[in-house]
Structure 1
Amino acid sequence: MITMQKLGIGAVQFIVAIFSGYCFYTSSKGLYRPWHSYTLLSLLTLNILLSISIMELVAGATYWGLALPFWYYSLFGLKKGFIFSAVVILLSAVVILIRTDTNIFMPFRTVFNFTLVYCSIWLVCHIYEVQNQKTSKFLRSLALQDGLTDLQNRHALKADFRAFHNSFDCLHMLIIDIDHFKNINDKYGHDIGDSVLINVANVLKECVQGKEIYRLGGEEFVVLYIDISDMEAYTKAEEIRIAIEKSVFYSHKEDIKLTVSIGVSSLHPDHEFADFLRAADQKLYQAKHEGRNKVCS
């Protein structure tokens, strides 16, 4: 016999089905919003808890609750997945214990078995998500880091530009190019050339207070400065040029002295990344045209 309680469960299930279709449609159209996941999982959780409280235990409604940790961790990540999973196991245990339609021993046995299996699945999901986050972090570092110098790479530069462009009005880019670097590779070999690039990167780390240092490719490096004036950007570029000029880079045969040319550009409101980079590049070409070992802004 269908009761009002079971009709209520059916209504919730109908809403879940309709909203699931809505979420699928919005995701396929690129209109997904975070609240979609929260609403869908809240409805699913409510449906499962109602089923556990109303349906007969032998009907197996409790089994659906075992899938919740997987959904929580998949959609919400480590921290929120842990919190939601903990809340649901407590609510499920309370709902089963307060049932009055079974003998005194049945709920405790059900709670024990349900909790044991639920916690096992919860543990597996938690361990998997921990490893998944570690792997994602490692892969992200590989994707955004230059393998030779351990500086950030061009992809990281683009990502940081987008973040800074939306947050700061004043942004300066320095493009630093090692003068006559091809001659170093030709004379000493590529191993020494790589060593020189690493040492230049180390000098940049000493000169720049921050992590906004990037290897653009080859012998070109980029530094971003936030919220400084044009004069300050020029002064910092000069400090970098002088520091590299004063440094001595060693090879097995002789000491290597380097100079760099630096182009400085400031961000304009209508600049995209390519425009910003092109402006600094033009200043770099000007520095090289004027004899190298110069800063042009």
Structure 2
Amino acid sequence: MSTRRYPHSSVSPEEFHKWLSALICVLNCVYFLLNMMVMQKFGIGAVQITVAVFSGYCFYKSSKGLYQPWHSYTLLTSLTLSILLSIAVMELVAGATYWGLALPFWYYSLFGLRKGFIFSAVIVLSTATVIFFRTDTNIFMPYRTIFNFTLVYCSIWLVCHVYEVQRQKTSELLHSLALQDDLTDLQNRHALKADFRAFHKNFENMHMLIIDIDHFKNINDKYGHDIGDSVLIKVADTLTQSIQTKEIYRLGGEEFIILLKNISDEEACRQAEKVRKAIELGIFFSHNEPIKLTVSIGISSLRPEHEFTDFLRAADQKLYQAKREGRNRVCA
């Protein structure tokens, strides 16, 4: 499975976590001083300084590039508990409930759509319960407070949810634009590089097949570029159908790449020959006139010292060898 990183349409969760950690650290330090020196709330002050210290630790780790997902979960859990404790301990007029309104935005920004929804739902229920059980001189006050808080919270929650849905759609579009060939719908060179880095770490051996359509320029010259494009699309479909792998890429022009993982040299040659025959036996129509194609294929085997350019160059050299030897063949 590829571990490539997809582009974000906004600030990444890691970057958002770093600056949120700094904000939480500063805010909890301020509230710690107020509660310890002015309000004489030593218990909640102790909780707030603990949250401040941990958020400072999270900011330090993120600044050093040592972010871990558990940092975000622990940070938001401790912050949430601190806010709920403040609502339970402080007077309602102190306004601790206001900080609960910021939680949906932070949840969605750090944890995404599904977890953001779940965490936001838990908080509105928890906060409403805490407010309900608070004693108040006016018997109607808890109900009015719960009603108003819930409406405002759900409004903010809805906006955050809609925003996150749209952000994910935009990110998927950016991913498609960045990593997918717009003509053939295969993956492109950027995706190839990203997958190479991921596979190089996780697989002991890997083979690259570089496939070039023989005399493709003649097709463009004879039939036009629109027919040439339709031929490229049909070749991409043939490659997808003839080999059992998702790692198929259009390198550019009439060149395609296939990555094969954890197979022998002999099996790589068999797979390449299967592809070559599938193209040779296929018929690529231009209106009513059949177009026959052949391809030349070069194969390289990954070596420990290979970088991406070395791996590609080795396959390219074998491809040129196949062309020099008459085309419509496989060279490894």
TM-score (ref. length: structure 1): 0.92
1:119 to 150, 154, 158: 154
- Please, which moves more after superposition, 43-52 or 246-255? 246-255
1:145 to 174, 180, 187: 180
Whether 2:152 is the aligned partner of 1:105: answer: no
Corresponding residue for residue 163 of structure 1: 198
Alignment of 1:39-50 (within 5 A): 39-50=74-85
2:125 to 90, 94, 118: 90
- Please, which moves more after superposition, 47-56 or 162-171? 162-171
2:302 to 267, 280, 291: 267
Query: What fraction of aligned residue pairs are identical, expressed as a percent?
Result: 77
Corresponding residue for residue 131 of structure 1: 166
Corresponding residue for residue 12 of structure 1: 47
SS at match of 1:149: coil
Deviations along 1:200-258, whole A, 9 cap, x unmatched? Answer: 11111220123221101111001122232211111111111111112222224743221
The one-letter code sitting in structure 2 at the alignment partner of 1:215 is R
Alignment of 1:24-63 (within 5 A): 24-63=59-98
The one-letter code sitting in structure 1 at the alignment partner of 2:74 is T
Corresponding residue for residue 104 of structure 2: 69
In structure 2, distance between residues paired with 1:57 and 1:104: 14
Deviations along 1:65-115, whole A, 9 cap, x unmatched? Answer: 011001111111112211211221222122112222443321122112111
Corresponding residue for residue 243 of structure 1: 278
In structure 1, distance between residues paired with 2:267 and 2:210: 16
1:258 to 293, 299, 321: 293
The one-letter code sitting in structure 1 at the alignment partner of 2:329 is K
Question: Do the aligned residues in 1 keep the contact of 2:136 with 2:142 (CA within 8 Å)?
Answer: no
In structure 2, distance between residues paired with 1:255 and 1:114: 70
| Number of equivalent positions | 296
In structure 2, distance between residues paired with 1:13 and 1:101: 25
- Please, which moves more after superposition, 179-188 or 192-201? 179-188
CA RMSD of aligned residues (A): 2.0
In structure 1, distance between residues paired with 2:38 and 2:224: 84
In structure 1, distance between residues paired with 2:112 and 2:239: 37
Corresponding residue for residue 26 of structure 2: none
Corresponding residue for residue 199 of structure 1: 234
The one-letter code sitting in structure 1 at the alignment partner of 2:271 is K
TM-score (ref. length: structure 2): 0.83
> Any unmatched runs of 5+ in structure 2?
1-36
1:279 to 314, 320, 331: 314
Corresponding residue for residue 23 of structure 1: 58
How much does 1:15 deviate? Answer: 3.5
Question: Do the aligned residues in 1 keep the contact of 2:279 with 2:295 (CA within 8 Å)?
Answer: yes
- Please, which moves more after superposition, 66-75 or 275-284? 275-284
In structure 2, distance between residues paired with 1:76 and 1:174: 39
In structure 1, distance between residues paired with 2:154 and 2:233: 49
How much does 1:290 deviate? Answer: 1.2
SS at match of 2:187: coil
Runs of 4+ in 1 over 4 A off after TM superposition: 1-4
Corresponding residue for residue 190 of structure 1: 225
Whether 2:328 is the aligned partner of 1:293: answer: yes
In structure 1, distance between residues paired with 2:77 and 2:288: 70
SS at match of 2:297: strand
